Homo-oligomer: A and B are copies of this chain.
Amino acid sequence: MAPRALAKQTNAEMPDVVSDLEILIGYNMKRAYVAIQKDFRAALGEGGLSPRTFSALSLVVAHPNISQSSLARLLGIERSGLVAIIDELERRNYLTRSHVPGDRRVQALVATHEGNAAYQATLATVQAHEERLLATLSATEKHTLMQILIKIRLTDKEDI
């Protein structure tokens, strides 16, 4: 088995077998996610929400009065990491931190009218981006993919 010669031109190398990476699900999942994320950001444009900020807003809209601790847990990140995300959403006037009567530690998060509107518009854009990007997948494939992704998520005992 002779060693492959050094390819000088990038377009001259289209190897039949790239490496063992080809059969590793983790590697291909990362590459697929990077492709999705890139398209997500392109779809939302320059001043758009980042994936994580969009996710946080989505959960606040779905769970009015949620605390930051609970939200961090749903997102699977640390409380400390959430602060900057909520700061941004507050700066955009998409939500408010409001003190709750019973407990002076927590600050209930509530989406503003503007935040709700921006969320609905962004959600539509995100759904359009996924439909366009994943147009080559059949409805069955998308459904199967979701089922599998959720199964994998749940192997992490910290998830949800």
Binding site for B on A (CB under 8 A): 3-8, 10, 13-15, 17-21, 23-40, 51, 55, 58-59, 61-67, 69-70, 73-74, 76, 100, 102-103, 106, 108, 123, 126-127, 130, 133-134, 136-137, 141-142, 144-146, 148-153, 155-156, 159-160
Contacts and interface: CB of A to CB of B under 8 A. Distances in A.
A9 B156 CA distance: 21
Contact of A26 (B37, B59, B63): B37
A33 B26 contact: yes
Contacts of A17: 62
A126 B24 contact: yes
A34 B2 CA distance: 38
A3 B8 CA distance: 63
A108 B6 CA distance: 7
B28 A29 contact: no
Nearest to A145: B148
Contacts of A141: 144, 148
A62 B19 contact: yes
A137 B147 CA distance: 10
A36 B152 contact: yes
